[in-house]
Structure 1
Amino acid sequence: MSNTSTVSPYENTNRTAAGSHAGTGAGVAAVACAGAVTGAAALALAGTAAGVYGVYRLGRWLAKAPELTAEQLAEIQAVEQEYREKMGQEEAPDTPELKTLNLHLEDSQTLVSAASGLGYRVVEAPDVLRHEAASPVLLERSDGERIAITRNEQGRLDIHTAADQALLNAVMSRHTEERVLSHLTDKGMQFKTARLANGEMQILSHEPNAGQVGGAAQIKAQVRSDGTAWVDVDRCRGRRCEDIVQQIAGAVGGTVTTTDKKDAWYQLPGEPTKTRVKT
């Protein structure tokens, strides 16, 4: 039978999916692409891998602060060494306010590809960031907007900006669109897409009728502006719908976080309807 599920490509799953979709049918899944952290909390998460002062430098680059002079850099490096020796007893410098999304994703190339589709290009890191142990991927747009991708100590990615979080949401929405469509293509599925007035993408796809056990599934999806996606798997029997949602989650770089059973099982033509009894 088909179920309703939530899939998140983010490590922080406390944030609820934006938007609303009433009256969802069989096999509905919300593919969530959100988990925002701002300010010092975000920097603490990123700083575990890059070092507190590495995060400070990254924040300055994202905020387009003037580059440090050689003397300033030497002074910061000396303080950083002292900070490390004292194991955090020194206070870190004030860091520009950043917006951060903590991803479950580990492959930075798909994220860079999505950002490139929105006009970002990878730029060479300045000297102040070039020799960081966890060197960030820096991206800049022709209008000057900047984002950065870092890898935390768990090996997963974080994406940052000093500007509006909508910049990050747009990248994640593009990433979800690209990964879902690539997954459907790899599975040999035909699909149609439509761009709504609010910028969201609707996708309608179906499996080829090649004798799959339980029937050829139909998949409907809507990728939201914040990167979340609503997914409806229909016309298949058994637990294959769960496998389909798991595969979509894997393609997006996330995990299935919740699953809700639907009220009725899908039945083939001529079969009696079986309805779940709620207690």
Structure 2
Amino acid sequence: MMQPTSDDCPRANGMPMLGLGTWKNEDPDQCAESVRTALETGYRHIDTADLYGNEAAVGDGVRQADVDREDVFLATKLWTDDLGYEDAIASAEERLDTLGVDYLDLLYIHWPAKSYDPEETFRAFEELHDRGLIENVGISNFEPEGMETAIEHCDVPILANQVECHPFLPQEDVRATAADLDIEVVAYSPLARGAVFESEALTDIADAHDASAAQVSLAWLLDKGVTPIPKATSREHIEDNWRALALELSDEEIDRIDAIEAVDRKIDPDFGPWN
């Protein structure tokens, strides 16, 4: 399988449809190196969050890579304590300082919980957008009803809803509502925290293509129009995930994955809107 280039990565409303996730990538040197490696492999979408505690290292990796900043789609998130109007403005400015950048390509509301108030939170995001500090507004872990409420309160188009999504949590309702509202879906934990490697359906398909189960899961998401952001730290895994762009699944293989009945949500806090 040939190694794709950055030009081979499709885009959805300007957002590269395969990114590098950095959750739990906590060692600063390793985090910076994985970001640099990903960008020099061809990735152009890097995802982090205030909660992850690694924004400084992510920023270092972006600067160390032989890729221009304007070619990198950089996303981060505000935690639930910082979603009031003034706190959201202050936290966003802190995110920029910590990352060492002048603007963010995408800023998410990490969860619709605690200090989240649609009117006040989106008023802050609109101001950040008007000031040129963020290019796009995002939401994360929003259910269909919450997505509709967000659209009603935000005068700036909402680019994406980032949710857990993989063959064991396909998020049909979220994806359908997102399509109706013209919101992209970004998938975190797209490998189901390793569960894809234990699936007979995914491993059988992988063997047929001389590919990995990770590539199969990512190719399935891409086929659904979903943007996966798998976490990887080693060059081997970063490059393996990237090769999902070159994997074409047949209709029969897509149907077999669609038929998986097991439901396995990996991230399930008490404050999740589905609880």
**TM-score normalised per structure 2:** 0.27
Q: Which structure has more strand as a fraction of its residues?
A: 1
**TM-score normalised per structure 1:** 0.27
Bigger CA radius of gyration: 1
